[in-house]
């Protein structure tokens, strides 16, 4: 349930805060006073599209926040917990729209994308606008309304999932059949490419070793020359080689070590150095002995590397990736060579999926037909009370023209109506006038709203185009919804407003330099004045007030709890 909404710097709003109560709340005011601004603000905080034009003139940003009590709402609490946004049965939403066009959204203080606000908003509030009857003529909307009323969501998900899988397998089979058309040419190419790669006997280890061996062979002369020069410096018969100098110095110090113990460290280090130098000489000599200058081997290595690089360019990869390319080509060749088995497997899977789709779609058709009878009867009953006595409403559920199934099943759904007694049923758009269509739409909205679990319902002037006793009946239906859900209704009809549990008045105030709106909850006596204004227009007489009071007394049999409104104003 919506517990409060705070709006600042939106359109002509400077700052208002409303705390609607349970049951039905009527939002009333003169034409053009801004009654729908609260509805628009709630839509924005629930993720509706917005741009900087909604910001109050002279301000840099608009801000809307709304609070909801979600105790006992398992679906909403599960969603919040799944997003790690839960907060002990409360839900606080916030939306900031900046003049630069940037917009930010928050759930329980955490920044979230607009999609998250929309997903959550769809579970918290259902907004019915005054122009919804126009969309009622679209077959897709008619199908959605029937399925929503019947609670077909799980079966619809099953049908849609099976259909997506069927389409995926169909596409895979089509690709398989198409590839068979080019099968022989592709097989020849694959076999040639594989033979070319397999003849080299490639492996990642060999490719790396070829590069290393080539580096050695290409620089064998330099390596051998360096070894010889090193050996000459370290170990020759000359007295100035490194090894000779170290050993001579070591011998001299050994003779003097008994004179001063301080020479022992130096003597020990030189002894270790002579051993290490000798080991280095032996290792270098062994390495030099292994160096072999082989021009033929070098030529073979260069040719081998050239072939590898040519193949790498052909397959658009590095030389090191060629073994992987070979394995990929081998798998593709195997797949094409066994395409017959694969095609048969796909055909079998497609047939099974098609049967599953048809089975689920037929189940959906059966449920839709049962729902259509109940739905049609309820709308027909509502039409009798909305000035369309003798009218009949029905839902036709029949196979699609191409008799195929799709993500929504295999049915063509159409709303039919006979507006007057004795007239045949025809498509809704062909026989219903604008006023009749509006009343049928209102009946559908009220009935469908009562069939879902969304806790807050908002009706924005959906009673436009009706009046008198019909308006009182509409108000009764909305009030009946208010016993199960929280209902906010923007209305210009006193018959509807009188039946509300609470009434909020929206007034537009114009100053010398700016315009703003004032929002306040009305007491019982103030409600009488407001209803009188709605009844009598500009001049309100005592008789009009008495009429309004009588409407209140007839409509209200128990004293309601008042909604709370706090008004903050920056002045006009």
Domains of the chain, CATH where assigned: 1-130+461-521+558-572 (3.40.50.300), 185-337 (no CATH)
Q: Which residue has the tokens 């290792």?
A: 283
- What is the predicted pLDDT for the residue at 537? 64
Predicted local confidence at residue 568, as pLDDT? 45
Supply φ then ψ for residue 135, to 5 degrees: -75, -15
* pLDDT-flagged residues of the chain (< 50): 558-563, 565-572
> Among positive and negative, which fits the CA dihedral 511, 513, 517, 518?
negative
CA separation for the pair 262, 264 (Å, rounded): 6
Compute the chain's Rg from CA coordinates.
43
pLDDT given at position 31: 74
pLDDT score of 569: 39
- Distance (Å, whole) CA 538 – CA 562: 27
Q: Are 53 and 557 in contact (CB under 8 A)?
A: no
Instruction: Decide: helix, strand or coil at residue 304.
Output: helix
Buried/exposed code over 34-49 (b: 16+ C-beta within 10 A; e: otherwise): bbbbbbbbbbbbbbbe
CA 480 – CA 464 distance, rounded (Å)? 19
For 70, list phi and psi in degrees, rounded to 5: -115, 20
Nearest alpha-carbon partner for 38 in 465, 565, 570: 565
Residue 8 to residue 276: CA distance in whole angstroms: 84
**Token reading at 224:** 């051998």
Helical (H) or strand (E) element with 533: helix 524-536
pLDDT at 178: 65
pLDDT at residue 412, rounded to an integer: 93
Distance CA 126, CA 451 (A): 12
pLDDT given for residue 345 in this prediction: 87
40 closest CA partner among 64, 76, 70, 17:
64
Taking the C-alpha atoms of residue 126 and residue 139, their distance in angstroms, rounded to an integer, is 21
For residue 239, what pLDDT is reported? 64
Q: What is the pLDDT of residues 10-38, one digit of tens each?
A: 988 888 888 888 999 999 988 777 778 88
């Amino acid at each position: 349930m919506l517990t409060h909404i705070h709006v600042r710097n939106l359109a002509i709003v400077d700052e208002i805060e409303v705390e609607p109560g349970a049951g039905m709340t009527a939002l009333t005011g003169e034409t053009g006073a801004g009654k729908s601004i609260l509805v628009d603000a709630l839509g924005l905080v629930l993720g509706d599209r917005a741009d900087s034009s909604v910001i109050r003139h002279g301000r840099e940003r608009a801000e809307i926040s709304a609070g909801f009590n979600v105790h006992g709402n398992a679906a909403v609490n599960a969603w919040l917990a799944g997003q790690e946004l839960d907060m002990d049965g409360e839900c606080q939403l916030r939306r900031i729209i900046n003049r630069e066009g940037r917009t930010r959204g928050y759930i329980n203080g955490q920044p979230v994308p607009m999609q998250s606000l929309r997903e959550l908003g769809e579970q918290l509030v259902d907004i019915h606008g005054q122009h919804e009857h126009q969309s009622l003529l679209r077959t897709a909307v008619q199908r959605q309304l029937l399925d929503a009323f019947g609670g077909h969501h799980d079966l619809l998900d099953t049908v849609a999932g099976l259909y997506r899988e069927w389409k995926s397998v169909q596409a895979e089979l089509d690709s398989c059949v198409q590839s068979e058309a080019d099968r022989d040419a592709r097989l020849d190419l694959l076999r040639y490419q594989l033979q070319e790669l397999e003849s080299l006997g490639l492996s990642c280890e060999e490719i790396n070793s070829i590069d290393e061996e080539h580096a050695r062979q290409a620089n064998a002369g330099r390596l051998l020359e360096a070894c010889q020069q090193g050996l000459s410096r370290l170990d020759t018969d000359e007295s100035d080689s490194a090894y000779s100098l170290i050993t001579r110095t070591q011998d001299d110090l050994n003779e003097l070590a008994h004179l001063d113990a301080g020479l022992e460290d130096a003597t020990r280090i030189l002894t270790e150095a002579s051993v290490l130098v000798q080991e280095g000489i032996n290792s270098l000599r062994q390495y030099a002995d292994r160096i072999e200058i082989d021009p033929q081997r070098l030529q073979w290595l260069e040719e081998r590397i050239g072939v590898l690089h040519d193949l790498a360019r052909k397959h658009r990869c590095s030389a090191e990736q060629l073994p992987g390319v070979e394995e990929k080509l081998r798998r593709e060749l195997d797949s094409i060579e066994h395409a017959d088995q694969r095609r048969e497997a796909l055909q079998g899977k497609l047939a099974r999926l098609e049967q599953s789709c048809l089975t689920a779609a037929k189940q959906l058709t059966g449920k839709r037909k049962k729902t259509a009878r109940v739905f049609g009867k309820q709308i027909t009953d509502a039409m009798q009370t909305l000035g369309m006595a003798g009218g009949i409403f029905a839902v036709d559920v029949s196979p699609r023209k191409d008799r195929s199934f799709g993500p929504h099943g295999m049915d063509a759904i159409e709303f039919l109506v006979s507006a007057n007694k004795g007239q045949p049923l025809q498509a809704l758009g062909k026989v219903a006038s604008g006023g009749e269509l509006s009343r049928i739409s209102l009946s559908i909205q009220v009935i469908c709203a009562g069939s879902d679990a969304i806790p807050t319902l908002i009706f924005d002037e959906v009673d436009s185009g009706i009046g008198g006793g019909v308006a009182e009946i509409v108000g009764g239906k909305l009030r009946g919804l208010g016993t199960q859900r929280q209902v906010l209704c923007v209305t210009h009809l006193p018959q509807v407003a009188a039946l509300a549990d609470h009434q909020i008045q929206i007034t537009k105030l114009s100053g010398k330099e700016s315009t703003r709106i004032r929002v306040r909850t009305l007491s019982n006596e103030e409600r009488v004045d407001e209803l009188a204004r709605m009844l009598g227009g500009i001049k309100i007489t005592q008789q009009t007030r008495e009429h309004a009071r009588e409407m209140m007394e007839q409509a209200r049999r128990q004293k309601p709890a008042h909604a709370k409104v706090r008004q903050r104003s920056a002045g006009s």
